[in-house]
Structure 1
Amino acid sequence: MKNSVIRLIALSLITIGLAACNATTKEKEEVFEEYDLHSPDEFNMPESLFEISGITFYKGNSDTVYAIQDEEGKLFRLGWDVKVQRHTKFGKKGDYEDVAILNDQVVILKSNGHLFTFPFSEAVYEEPAGVKELDQVLPKGEYEGMYGDEKTGKLYVICKNCPQDNSKKRVSGYILKLGDQAKTAGNFSINVDEIKAISGKVERGFRPSAMAQNPVTSEWYIISAVNKLLVITDTHWKVKHAFGLNGNTFNQPEGIAFDKTGNMYISDEGDDLSDGNILKFVRKK
C-alpha cells in the first residue's frame, strides 16, 4: 500500500513537470510580438502558380502581387484574392526562385545564381523587351533568396547551398549593385550557431529559401522551407529570433515580402493535398 502511494505521488509529480515544460514551450512559441504566425489571411493561387516561389511588390504597394514559379520563365501579376492572373514570359523553362523590383527593373534569380533583368514598364506585355541574363555575377552555388533595397539600390542574395559554406556553421550572402552590369558591393554571413542557440532545428545545416527586410524595423527576415524556420536578424546580420513554422499553416514556404505598412506575406508551394498560396500576416504594432 505504502509503495503504491509513493508511485502515485511520483507519477503525479512527473505529470505536473511535463505540463510545466509544455506550458513553457508553448509560451516561447507565442512570444513573437510583431505577427501572429498562426492566424494568416490565406490567398489560394490559381493552377498556374501551384509551384509559386518568390513574391514581391512594386514600391511596397500590395494592390498587385508579382510572383514567379520555379518551372516557367514567367513573371505573374495578380490582385490580392483575385485568381485571374496575367504574366509576361521573360525566359525559357528553368528553376527560378525569387523576384525583386529595384530601380524600376525586374530582377529574377535562377537557382544557379544567374540573374534575369528587364524594365518594369515591360511587365505588362506578353514578352518583355530588354531582357538581360547576368551569368557571371555570383559564385557557383545554389541560391533561392533575394531582396532588392529601393533606398540604397542594392540587391542582396543569400546562398542556400554554396561550396564555400559549411551550412552547419555559416551561410554566405552577396550584395550587388545593378547598372549596365552587376557589380559586387559587399558580402555578409549568418552565424548558424546563433540560430542553434535559439532553435534546435538547424542541426543538419541552415538552408535559406527567401529573404526580405522589414520596412518598419529594418530587421532581416529569412525563411527556410527545409528547416521550416523563420530567422530574424538585425541590420548587422546578428540573429535575434528564430521561430518554427507549423506544418499545419505552412506547407513549403518559398517566398517572403512586406508591404510598405509592414504587413508580411509568405508564399507556399502546393502539394497533393493543397493549392499554392500566399499567407498575409498583419503587423500587430
Structure 2
Amino acid sequence: MINTLFLPLALLLNYCAPTSDAAASAAPDFRSGVASSDPSAPVSGRLAYDFSRPAATYTMPVELAELSGIAFSGNGQLTGVEDETGRLYEYSLADRRVTSTVDFGPAGDYEDLARVGGDWLVLRSDGTLFRHSASGTQQYQTGLTTENNAEGLTYDARSKTLLVACKGAPGGNLTATKRAIYRLDPTTYKVQTPAAYLLDVDAIVASVPKPGGADTAPEITKKNKRGKEDKHMSGLKGFAPSAVAVHPRTGHVFVLSARQNALVELNEAGKLLAAAPLPGNLFPQAEGLAFTPEGDLYIATEAGKKSGQAMVHLFHEQR
C-alpha cells in the first residue's frame, strides 16, 4: 500500500527522461575515461561548516536505522531511503517524524536518491536506477556494475544531469587510488565518459588536517586501552565515496566518505578545494548529504553499534 503526499509536478525545464531501456546505448568503455581536471592540486581552503557543532540533530525512527541517502524535498521536508527496502520516507523537520512513505520497488541495496521535478530517482549499488513518478516506477541500467559499487546520487541543476559517485572500482585502466564520479546522460541515464570528476585518494588523505595540526599534543593523539588511536583522532586512511551533493550557489561538488568519516569539496573544474574529517562521535557511518537552497547542509549517518538509531545533523554555512 502506498501512502504519499507527493503531487505530480512538471519535470524541470529541458530535462528529458527515457521511456524504456531499449532506447539506451551500449555500456560505455571505461578504459577511455580520464579526468579532465587535476584533482591532486593543493588544497586552497577550508570547508565553510563547523562539523563539531550541529545547528540541529534529528533522531530517525527505527525503520531508518540503515538510512543510506537523503534529499531535501522543500517545504521543511527531507526524504530518505534505506538500504534494505524499496521505500521512500518523507520526514518533517518541524514535526520530527515520518509523515508518509512511498513504495517504489522491490527489496534491494539502495544507496541514494535525487529529486527531478516531481519524480524521484533512486540508485541501487549495482548501478541500476529507479525512476518513480505518479504513474509508477521504471528501471534503467546505467552501465555501472556491482564492481563500481555506486553509492552517491545527486541532481546537478546547472547541467540538468545526475551525478553518480562510485565507492568501488573507478573503471577501466584507472588505478585503485582513484575514485570516480560519473555524469548520466539525461536522455538514456547511461554513464558518460570520461568521468566528470576524479578523486585522488592519496591527495585527499594528505590534505585532511590532523586534529591539532603538526604539533599535536600527546594527549590529543593518545591511544585507547587497546593501544589503538581513537578513530576520530587519527589521520585519514583512505576515501570511498558514500554520497555526493552540489552546492546550490557555488556549483561546487561535495563528496562524503562513510568508511573514513571525511568530506571534500571540489570546484566545478574538479580541483580539490578543501577536505575535512568528521567527528566519529557524531558520525558512526556518514551516508547522506543534502543542501538547502540557502547552502545549509544536512548530513545523515546510519545507526552506530551503541546508538541503535540513525541521525541527521544540520550545519549552517559560515560566510
- SS of the residue aligned with 1:72? coil
Q: 1:48 maps to what in 2?
A: 63
Structure having the larger proportion of residues in helix: 1
Is 1:153 matched with 2:160? Answer: yes
Report deviation, 1:284: 1.8
Q: Deviations over 1:1-31 (max 9, x none)?
A: xxxxxxxxxxxxxxxxxxxxxxxxxxxxxx8
Tell whether the 8 Å contact from 2:170 to 2:179 is kept in structure 1 after alignment: no
Runs of 5+ in structure 2 lacking a partner? 1-44, 211-234
- More moved, 89-98 vs 102-111: 102-111
Distance 1:39 1:70 in 2: 28
Aligned residue for 1:173, secondary structure, equals strand
Q: How far apart in 2 are the matches of 1:75 and 1:283?
A: 27
* Alpha carbons of structure 1 residues 206 and 62: separation in structure 2 relative to 1, 3 Å: farther
Partner Cα distance (1:104, 1:86) in 2: 16
Residue 224 (structure 2) aligns with: none
Report % sequence identity: 31
Kept in 2: contact 1:209–1:225 (CA 8 A): yes
Contact 2:46 2:275 in 1 (8 A): no
In 1, the alpha carbon distance for the partners of 2:78 and 2:165 equals 22
* Poorly superposed stretches of 4+, deviation over 4 Å: 200-203
Structure 2 match to 1:135: 141
CA contact (8 A) 1:167 1:206 kept: no
Residue identity matched to 1:131: T
> What amino acid does structure 2 have at the position aligned with 1:112?
D
Contact 1:191 1:238 in 2 (8 A): no
Q: Is the 8 A contact 1:153 1:177 kept in 2?
A: no
- The alignment's C-alpha RMSD in Å is 2.0
Cα shift at 1:32? 4.2
In the other structure, the counterpart of 1:79 is 92
Q: Aligned partners of 1:145, 1:84: CA distance in 2, in Å?
A: 23
Report if the CA contact (8 A) 2:47-2:275 is conserved.
no
* Distance in 2, Cα, partners of 1:279 & 1:136: 31
| 1:29-52 residue CA offsets vs partner (Å, 9 max, x unmatched) | xx8461111111100011121111
Query: Which string of whole-angstrom CA distances, capped at 9 and with x for unpartnered residues, describes residues 245-265 of structure 1?
Result: 111121110000100000000
Local SS of the residue matching 1:195: helix
Contact 1:103 1:150 in 2 (8 A): no
1:191 aligns with one of 187, 196, 200: 200
- Paired residue for 1:173, among 167, 172, 181? 181
Deviations 1:92-151 (A, max 9, x none): 1111000001243210000111100022xx3xxxxxx33111125335521111111233
TM-score where L is the length of structure 1: 0.79
TM-score (norm 2): 0.71
Residue aligning to 1:66: 79
Structure 1: segments with no counterpart, 5+ residues: 1-30, 123-128
- Structure 1 window deviating more from structure 2 (186-195 vs 93-102): it is 186-195
Alignment-derived partner of residue 9 in structure 1: none
- 1:227 matches 2:233: no
**What is the identity, as a one-letter code, of the residue corresponding to 2:157?**
E
**Once the 2 structures are TM-superposed, how far is the Cα of residue 185 of structure 1 from its aligned partner?**
4.0
Q: Secondary structure, in 3 states, of the residue corresponding to 1:48?
A: helix
What CA distance in whole angstroms lies between the structure 1 residues aligned with 2:137 and 2:110?
15
User: Could you tell me how far apart the structure 1 residues matched to 2:47 and 2:113 are?
Assistant: 28
Amino acid at match of 1:192: V
CA distance in 2, matches of 1:55, 1:261: 17
1:272 corresponds to 2:305: yes
Amino acid across the alignment from 1:157: V
> Higher RCO, 1 or 2 (CA under 8 Å, sep at least 6)?
2
2:189 is matched with which residue: 182, 187, 202?
A: 182
- In the TM superposition, residue 175 of structure 1 has moved relative to its aligned partner by 0.6
Q: Distance in 2 between matches of 1:65 and 1:232?
A: 22
In the TM superposition, what is the alpha-carbon distance from 1:202 to its structure 2 partner? 5.1
Residues in 2 aligned to 1:150 and 1:219: alpha-carbon distance in whole angstroms: 12
SS at match of 2:185: strand
Corresponding position of 2:113 = 99
Residue 17 of structure 2 is matched in structure 1 by none
The higher radius of gyration belongs to: 1
What is the Cα deviation at residue 193 of structure 1? 3.1
Question: Does structure 2 retain, via aligned residues, the 8 Å contact 1:102–1:149?
Answer: no
Question: Residue 244 of structure 1: CA displacement?
Answer: 0.7
Aligned residues: 242
Q: Is the 8 A contact 2:258 2:285 kept in 1?
A: yes
**Structure 1 CA distance for aligned equivalents of residues 91 and 284 of structure 2:** 21
